[in-house]
Every structure is written in structure tokens, then in C-alpha cells.
């Protein structure tokens, strides 16, 4: 049959990989949106001194800055945590609240969020290539009628590709500096950054920043 001949020629491999990438993207979306982004829980307060025993050195952070209790949920906030009024929780290493995920991006799901953006970008680039390759250009009145669906699809894919690409690049830059979107946007309003002599006081070099973030 035609299906068997296509399988023998390897023509079914690319569509199969594309479908698997789409499925992976959907699974990552639900995983990132449903998982705990790093909510600060009251029973974890006694663990606030554990980080001191892990040998993690934070340079140029003034020693007189003390942890404070959140005015909303009354838990003791670790450094780099922020209360999200939409989630009604304090989130460790808070980055931002994503309206598309209906969840915060924080300490626990930020790496998976980057993986999700990467897979989504690959799917969009592949889909854009398929849509573009299906277009054929002719100087006739029926050209638009025959190609309107592919043309609209390509334009939408192009717009989403630019958005996802810019989002991914900006996050990778911030990760390489060991900072978050919240810290980058609100630098002058955060006590431990406002009193720091360095623009990125948590920066320990690109390689170590990436290693600690993903591993």
C-alpha cells in the first residue's frame, strides 16, 4: 500500500517526530502550569538556616538585611522570594506570574519553563517551515483563494515564533546573570539589591550560573 511504501522510504519519520514534539510541548505546558513553583510554607521556617551550611556564598549582600515576614500570608520570606497576589502564596526565587500558564514561574518550575519554551520554539519553527513550503506563488486571481489558509497560518506562526524567541532569549540572558525577571524589573525597589554595590550580586559566572540553574 501507499502507507507501507512511504514507511519504507522514511517519509513517515518526520511527521511522527513532529507529532511527538507537539505532544511533548503539551505535556510540558501542563506540567509547568500545574506543579508547585516553589511556594514558601510555614513549616519550612525552621529550615531557613540550612542554606548557610551548603557553602553557597552570596557576594556583596549587606549583612544588616534581615528576612521579613510577608504582610499577606505571614510566612518568613527567604531572600529572593516574593508574594504573588494572584496565587496567594510567597514563591521562592520568584520570576514572574505567567498569565498563559495561570501559575507562577519560580524556583521549582523555572528550568522546566525554559525547556517548554525551547520545545515550543522548535515546534513553531518546524510548523512555519511546513506552512511556507506549502505555498506556491502565481500571478492569478485564484492564488489567494487557494493559499489563504496556509498564508494566515504562516503569519500567525511567525508572530508566535518571534514572541517565544524573544521570551526565551531574555530568560536565558537573565539566567546567565543569575537574576530573575522580578529582580531585573524592580531592582531599585528590592532591599537586598538596592543596597548592593553590584548590579547582579548573585552572579557567579555564566557557566556556574547555568549549572546551578539547570542541575
Closest CA to 117 of 175, 171, 168, 174: 168
pLDDT given at position 188 = 87
Give the contacts of 71 (CB within 8 A, at least 6 positions apart): 83
pTM: 0.82
Residue 157 in grid coordinates: 506562526
53 confidence band (pLDDT: 50, 70, 90): very low
Mean pLDDT, rounded, of the chain: 84
Directed axis angle between helix 110-133 and helix 143-176, to 10°? 160
pLDDT given at position 200 = 85
pLDDT given at position 15 = 85
Given a cut of 60, whether residue 61 has pLDDT beyond it is no
pLDDT given at position 142 = 67
pLDDT given at position 133 = 80
pLDDT given at position 42 = 80
Residues tagged active-site: 98
Amino acid at each position: 500500500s501507499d502507507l507501507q511504501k512511504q514507511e519504507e522510504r522514511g517519509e513517515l519519520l518526520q511527521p511522527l517526530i513532529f507529532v511527538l514534539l507537539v505532544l511533548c510541548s503539551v505535556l510540558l505546558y501542563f506540567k509547568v502550569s500545574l506543579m508547585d513553583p516553589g511556594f514558601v510554607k510555614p513549616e519550612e521556617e525552621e529550615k531557613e538556616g540550612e542554606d548557610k551550611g551548603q557553602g553557597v556564598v552570596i557576594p556583596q549582600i549587606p549583612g544588616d538585611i534581615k528576612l521579613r515576614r510577608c504582610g499577606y500570608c505571614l510566612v518568613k520570606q527567604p531572600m529572593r522570594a516574593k508574594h504573588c497576589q494572584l496565587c496567594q502564596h510567597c514563591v521562592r526565587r520568584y520570576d514572574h506570574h505567567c498569565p498563559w500558564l495561570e501559575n507562577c514561574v519560580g524556583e521549582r518550575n523555572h528550568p522546566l519553563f525554559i525547556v517548554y519554551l525551547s520545545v515550543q520554539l522548535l515546534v513553531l519553527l518546524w510548523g512555519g517551515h511546513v506552512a511556507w513550503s506549502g505555498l506556491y506563488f502565481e500571478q492569478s486571481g485564484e492564488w489567494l483563494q487557494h493559499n489563504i489558509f496556509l498564508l494566515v497560518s504562516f503569519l500567525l506562526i511567525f508572530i508566535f515564533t518571534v514572541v517565544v524567541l524573544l521570551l526565551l532569549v531574555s530568560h536565558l540572558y537573565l539566567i546567565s546573570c543569575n537574576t530573575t525577571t522580578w529582580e531585573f524589573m524592580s531592582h531599585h525597589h528590592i532591599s537586598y539589591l538596592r543596597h548592593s554595590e553590584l548590579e547582579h550580586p548573585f552572579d557567579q559566572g555564566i557557566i556556574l550560573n547555568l549549572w546551578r540553574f539547570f542541575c
